[in-house]
A and B are shown apart, each in its own frame.
Chain A
Amino acid sequence: MTIKKTKDIFLFSLFLMFFLNLKAVAAQIVNHSAADTAMKIMNSETAAHVLPSAYMVIPFILLLLMIATGPLFYKHFWENHYPKVSLLLSVVVILYYIIFLNNTKSLLHTLTEYISFIALLSSLFVASGGILIKVDKKSTPLVNVIFLLFGAVISNIVGTTGASMLLIRPFIKMNKNRIRPYHIIFFIFIVSNIGGALTPIGDPPLFLGFLSGVPFFWVIDNVWYIWIPTLVLVLLAFYLFDLNNKKDSPTKVEYSGKIHFKGYKNLIYLLIIVIAVFIDPVVIPWVPSLYPLPFGIREIIMFAVVIVSYKTADKEILKDNEFDFEPIKEVAYLFIGIFATMIPALQLIAYEAKEFGDKLSAGVFYWATGILSAILDNTPTYMNFLSAAMGKYGLDVTVKSNVQNFVLVDDIYLKAISVAAVFFGSLTYIGNGPNFMVKSISERAGIEMPSFFTYIVKYSVIILLPIFTIIWLLFFYGKG
């Protein structure tokens, strides 16, 4: 292990230890379920604690600006120092919450969410890194559309992260002679985000909704008719782009038309991860809670999968996949900064949403959840807006039966919040965890990806916003 890597791990561990120490201070939390605790804290944050100063949103804005501008204008500095920048900005917010607000509950809740987030992402990343899929078939616009549609469906079974990690390499290989950045961007739109809107496994906000009491099959029963037109429109846009791509191999290539698959045992690891998602005291009552630790059995299983799947992986497959921990390390560092610095922003938004919840229509919930999901984490955004929508009916998001009643009373708000939280994650590189990882894998393959701003201006605004506007007009305009 190199000195730099040892230093990185030391720095990261130090930070986690600092964060973990907070749990001792937060001993007054009495609920013994980590997930339940997380939800309760989230929704009691604004009520039980003084709101943070609006100035405390500055570290978050600064971090977002640096993520956007770093790789463009000061690449060398950013590549060498982004972990320190991310941790430093986090520490500013953490100290503010400890010293000035005396609020450790919010920090503990965020830590719980972060560990859960990184456990899922890293386990899917490592397990799928030991799988090699080779599609030796000439890519055409239609074949690509079918491939992306398959990815969208699969993302509801193995999650958007699992599907992205599993399919991005074969997608690039299939298109190696005519690949352009738009191929990757549409992959991010469809497989890494929009596809996963049908089940709670698809995307984390839907899973938290499920833990709160939204029935497992409510999503597919109520969102499919929004999912289909959205997907059709995005696939149609991709088809038109791809139809105009006349690029072909400069040398003659012969295709066997076969699909090769290596690394079957890693499918078992993926299955374990998917099953582990449900191993939570909220879902299965006999599952022991590890309170006051900020993680549960689920996270332990997922981290165990990281170690076992890496140690037992076929070295040839790892070599062919050029497996490297760097993409997940980048996500781990940047998102610890994003998770910590966004606490004040989320609390201020939650307060405003509750204050004005009565006056908000389904359309406002759709746009507000969506735009904030694109720049903040979509899971707490989903929960805050769900809480505000339920507040309209005097219901409490922390009470499971209330959530079940809310679904029966008027589900237009839940539909708006659910689809927006998932769909809009595709608007930016930071909108969803796998977006960054797909970008990183593509760059390592030699594909020049657009910058943070170019991605938004040239692709998200031009392609996605009109489609999301059509969805709003069709399903949410003038409702609620």
Chain B
Amino acid sequence: MMTIENTIKNKLKGLYYGNRMILPFNCHLLKVIIEDDIIMDFSPSSKSIYVHEEENFTEIYFKLFKNIKDAVSKYESIKLIAVEKDKDIFNFDNHYKLAVHIEDEHKLTIDKTDEDILFIE
């Protein structure tokens, strides 16, 4: 199973197609920010998001957008707070703050957010 740590270390890329984002690791999501939408409801009835977990990747559908490329501009990112699948979710040290940048050819770069980026948990 690919981990968040390995993804960042090996600079692995994710994918996106329309409003579907595919992250190359399996994780628990705690918070997602896209544009000025702050998403914290990940239940199946959520109107904003649908999350589907596979063994080696996590799929996220942004229901309010047709294409995430239109929603996220050049210097912006989709921000996530995520926890490795097998780690203690209650330990804040395990909470990864990630910035997902949209690139061409359906690719996503995934980085830990640095100190300069505004991201409140």
Contact = CB atoms under 8 A, between A and B. Distances in A.
A179 B120 contact: yes
A322 B35 CA distance: 10
Interface in B40-94: 47, 64, 67, 69-70, 73, 75-77, 79, 92-93
Contact of A443 (B36, B64, B73, B76): B36
Main secondary structure of the interface of B (DSSP, over half): loop
Interface in A316-352: 318-326
Interface residues of A, number: 34
Contacts of B115: 134
B38 interface: yes
A444 B35 contact: yes
Interface in A37-77: 75-76
Contact of A322 (B38, B64, B69, B77): B77
B75 A324 contact: yes
A137 interface: no
A175 to B, nearest CB: 9
Contacts of A76: 47, 64
Contacts of A322: 75-77, 117-118
A79 B48 CA distance: 13
B116 A448 contact: no
A250 B120 contact: no
A184 B98 CA distance: 24
B38 A443 contact: yes
Nearest to A168: B118
B92 A172 contact: no
Contact-residue bracket for chain B:
20 to 34
B121 interface: yes
B33 interface: yes
A315 B73 CA distance: 13
A446 B70 contact: no
B17 interface: no
A394 to B, nearest CB: 51
A321 B114 CA distance: 11
Nearest to B69: A2
Given A444-B118, A446-B31, A251 B64 contact: no
Contact of B119 (A2, A250, A441, A446): A446
Contacts of A315: 75
Contact of B116 (A134, A324, A440): A134
A324 B75 CA distance: 7
A132 interface: yes
Nearest to A71: B36
A447 B75 contact: no
Contacts of B67: 2, 4
A445 B76 CA distance: 11
A323 B70 contact: no
A173 interface: yes
Interface string A286-298: 0000000000000
Interface string A2-26: 1111000000000000000000000
Contacts of A79: 64
Contacts of A176: 118, 120
Contacts of B77: 322
Given A132-B116, A169-B118, A2 B75 contact: no
A126 to B, nearest CB: 12
B70 A2 contact: yes
Given A322-B76, A324-B76, A445 B70 contact: no
A321 B75 contact: yes
Nearest to A322: B76
A428 B35 CA distance: 22
A76 B48 CA distance: 9
Nearest to B92: A250
B118 A173 contact: yes
B120 A447 contact: yes
Contact of A320 (B73, B116, B121): B116
B47 to A, nearest CB: 8
A319 B75 contact: yes
Nearest to A318: B75
Contacts of B93: 251
B94 to A, nearest CB: 11
Given A322-B117, A326-B35, A448-B38, 13 more contacts: A76-B64, A132-B116, A134-B115, A318-B75, A320-B114, A320-B117, A323-B73, A441-B118, A443-B36, A444-B118, A446-B118, A446-B121, A447-B120
Interface of A: 2-5, 75-76, 79, 132, 134, 169, 172-173, 176, 179, 250-251, 315, 318-326, 440-441, 443-448
Interface of B: 31, 33, 35-38, 47, 64, 67, 69-70, 73, 75-77, 79, 92-93, 114-121
